[in-house]
Amino acid sequence: MKSEPDDCSIDDALAAPAATVPWSGVRNYQARNFMRDAMAVGDGVLFFHSSCDEPGIAGLAEVASPPYADASQFDRRSPYYDPKSTRAAPRWFNVDVRALRKTRLLSLSELRRQRALANLWVLRPGNRLSITPVSAAEWRTITARLLA
């Protein structure tokens, strides 16, 4: 799961009450579907810093809630307001994410050097999704590098 550290960094998430933040503002249908349909409470999360000097995995987290309607879609003052979304039929969802620990930064260049990560979704050319799946084998490869 990608976040711009200026919006919510791993440090911000760790400092939040119960180290938990809502992963709101997702406005891409494919990313929304991954979060809404494929995530479950307790699933591991690679907390990825994006749109910064050195993008990469900055921490480990877990999904802390089932998906629920993203309140920002109903707030006219929010940059994530969606006038076509209604409370009866929300378009956008989020989950709560609990930060578990900050890790050393595992940069994109380091991820790219790992043969076992050749198919990692976040490394695909043109990928701009903020939420992407990670296979069990990819998870093991990444966490072994992070925790080494």
| pLDDT of 1 | 97
Q: pLDDT (tens digit, 9 = 90+) per residue, 11-23? A: 999 999 999 999 9
**CB of 39 within 8 A of CB of 95?**
yes
- Residue in the structure block whose two tokens are 């994410």: 97
Coil vs helix vs strand at 105: strand
In the chain, the amino acid numbered 31 is A
pTM over the 0.85 mark: yes
Average pLDDT in the chain:
96
The pLDDT value recorded for residue 15 is 98
DSSP 37-75: II--TT-EEEEEE-SSSS-EEEEEEEE-S--EE-GGGG-
| Helix residue spans in the chain (DSSP H) | 10-15, 29-33, 108-112, 136-146
Of residues 127 and 142, more confidently modeled: 142
Predicted pLDDT at 11: 98
pLDDT, position 148:
76
**Span 84-111, average pLDDT:** 97
CATH of segment(s) 2-146: 3.10.590.10
Using DSSP, state whether 128 is helix, strand or coil: coil
pLDDT band at 30 (very low <50, low <70, confident <90, very high): very high
Taking the alpha carbons at both ends of the chain, their separation in whole angstroms is 21
pLDDT of residue 147: 84
Q: Give residue limits of the domains in the chain.
A: 2-146
